Structure 1
Amino acid sequence: MAYNLIALDVDGTLLTDEHKLPKDVKEAVREASTAGAQIVLCTGRGPMGAFPVLEELGLSGVLITHNGAATVRSEDRAILFQYDIDKKDLTDFIAYCKAQGIHYDLNTAFDMMVERMTDEAKAMYAHHKVEPIERSFDGSLPDGLVKFTLFGTKEQMDAVQADWANRPTNLQLIRSGDLFIDVQNPDASKGTALRRLAAEIGIGREKILAIGNYYNDISMLEFAGLGIAMSNSPDAVKDAADLTAGSNNEGGVAAALRTHAWTRE
């Protein structure tokens, strides 16, 4: 293998726009695993939304979830490390979402919680194969929060992003998809988590290949020895990568792995 660790984004990268895992992509990822590469899913999803993808691949191991805020092991569901949110820093975000009528959820490493559910949100969670816990946040917020996610139309998320561009906050806003904005600890990122994991298992960055498609993937694409952006990526993501692969709907990950993951004699 040319690379000992392969970091793969999920939505818009491994999965098609219909949230399907193409057969050819599945086979290519398993070929890389069989050849000796450690496969690490690096996703904005929480573990409960990422485990089904890992299981469909027929693999187990470490996952970098919540945009790097929680790194977990699938076999025993242990949290290897996480970056918590200070609960008091979420007060303004919750008030803003309520005033604007924007759907949001709160996440610990393994639990997702919502105050209410719309039909659009139900369909979105079903696609991601997660079932949020419905509860009130009027009292104290739960401990161990790692991510606060806003969900809505692209126009709504564009407006939120513009509105919060100059507002003071101790947290970072990450655009993790056209329909999502994640609010997290400023130290959390896929790149930070990948760097920390690589150091703990003794793999140099030159032996890491990363593939992604969105703004939340830029840090891991820049850290990896080889960063590959999907052709369905925004230009800023392509600019941050070393190479560009085919689109997620064309099974671009399969071709990228078969072209670049193996050492050529």
Structure 2
Amino acid sequence: MRYRLIALDVDGTLLDDQHELAPETIDTIREVVTQGTEIVLCTGRAPLSTIPLMERMGLTGYVISHNGAATVDAATREIVHQYQVDVRDLEPYIDYCRDNGIHFDVNTAFGLYVDQLEGLKLEVRSMYEAFLMEPLQLPLWADLSEPLVKFTAFASMERLDEVYRDWSRWEQPFNMLRSGDFFIDLMHKQASKGEALHQLALRRGIASDEIMAIGNYYNDLSMLTYAGKGIAMANSPEEVRLAADEVTLSNNEQGVRHALIKHCLS
């Protein structure tokens, strides 16, 4: 069948391990678009680090950012849907991070704020540079002019395993998920890639069985199971591969291109 909408995760899926986008994959995506299929990047990234990829591929349309917490029109940068986080619920998590030396940031749809801008560690600054983000100093809650949509903790995989175990024992007001080996995200309970994709599909008049989703990590599970065709990358954890309808090649082998040729251009 012809899929009307294809949701693509970015890191570990569309991009290889060096955060590069293969020219051959771009060409294949453009060919799919000429058939009338809509491409939506569905990522844990912020809009400002996702829209440039859309522009590089010559695409317009929507990006589902912050793991589903904010959906943005890539051309106009209008926020078409977002889930707001209650800042009061974040306080215990912020205290935990401060007490245990865990770096964290809080995000509006377009802004990223850190606790201590001065003295950021080199690996933290390098991480933000890799994601095309410029951190700002976290102001007082009352001075934030836009809703918060996501809280992210950043540390080594081993430290985050400990953090995740600790926070899992708490009464959880958030959708808490591992969005990568080095990240834990906290969002509104209803916010997820799958739910954001569902809301966008309703807006576009597209049924779930007309949607293909391709992803590689735990934060992609909701969209892989919502879409009519959910495809996991070969570099996905076993749980993600088992939840998908099929598995394509890895992100370092242009697995997205392989899946698009198989299902959209054959």
Q: TM-score, normalised by structure 2?
A: 0.95
What's the secondary structure of 1:45's corresponding residue?
Answer: coil
Q: Which residue of 1 aligns with 2:23?
A: 23
- The one-letter amino acid paired with 1:108 is T
Question: 1:105 and 2:108 equivalent?
Answer: no
- Note closer, same or farther for the CA distance 1:235–1:141 as it changes in structure 2 (3 Å cut): farther
Q: 2:263 aligns to what?
A: 260
Are positions 1:249 and 2:252 aligned together? yes
Map residues 1-265 of structure 1 onto 2, 5 A cutoff. Answer: 2-116=2-116, 117-137=120-140, 140=142, 142=144, 143-262=146-265
CA distance in 1, matches of 2:123, 2:139: 20
Q: Which blocks of at least 5 consecutive residues in structure 1 are unaligned?
A: none
Q: Distance in 2 between matches of 1:214 and 1:121?
A: 22
CA positional deviation for 1:140 = 4.0
Deviation of residue 156 (structure 1)? 1.2
Distance across 2 between alignment mates of 1:136 and 1:85: 16
Identity of aligned residues (%): 48
- Secondary structure, aligned partner of 1:261: helix
CA distance in 2, matches of 1:130, 1:252: 27
Q: Secondary structure at the match of 1:19?
A: coil
Q: Distance in 1 between matches of 2:239 and 2:28?
A: 27
Post-superposition, which runs of at least 4 consecutive aligned residues in structure 1 deviate over 6 A?
Answer: none
**TM-score normalised by the chain length of structure 1:** 0.96
Once structures 1 and 2 are overlaid, which stretch shifts more, 20-29 or 207-216? 20-29
- Give the Å deviation of 1:261: 2.0
For 2:10, give the aligned amino acid: V
CA-CA distance at 1:243 after TM superposition:
0.5
CA-to-aligned-CA distance 1:53-88 (integer Å, 9 cap, x gap): 112212121111111000010111111111000110
Q: What CA distance in whole angstroms lies between the structure 1 residues aligned with 2:170 and 2:195?
A: 25
CA displacement at 1:127 relative to structure 2: 0.8
How far residue 163 of structure 1 moved from its aligned partner, in angstroms, is 1.1
Q: Which moves more between the two structures, 149-158 or 127-136?
A: 127-136
CA displacement 1:140-164 (0-9 Å, x = unmatched): 4734000000111111111111111
For 1:71, what is the secondary structure of its paired residue?
strand
Q: Aligned partners of 2:27 and 2:223: how far apart in 1?
A: 23
Aligned-partner Cα distance in 2 for 1:141–1:252: 44
What letter corresponds to residue 207 of structure 1 in structure 2? E
Could you tell me how far apart the structure 1 residues matched to 2:256 and 2:60 are?
Answer: 19
Q: Alpha carbon RMSD of aligned pairs, Å?
A: 1.3
Instruction: State how many pairs are aligned.
Output: 262
CA shift, 1:26, in A, is 1.3
Q: How far apart are residue 123 of structure 1 and its match?
A: 0.6
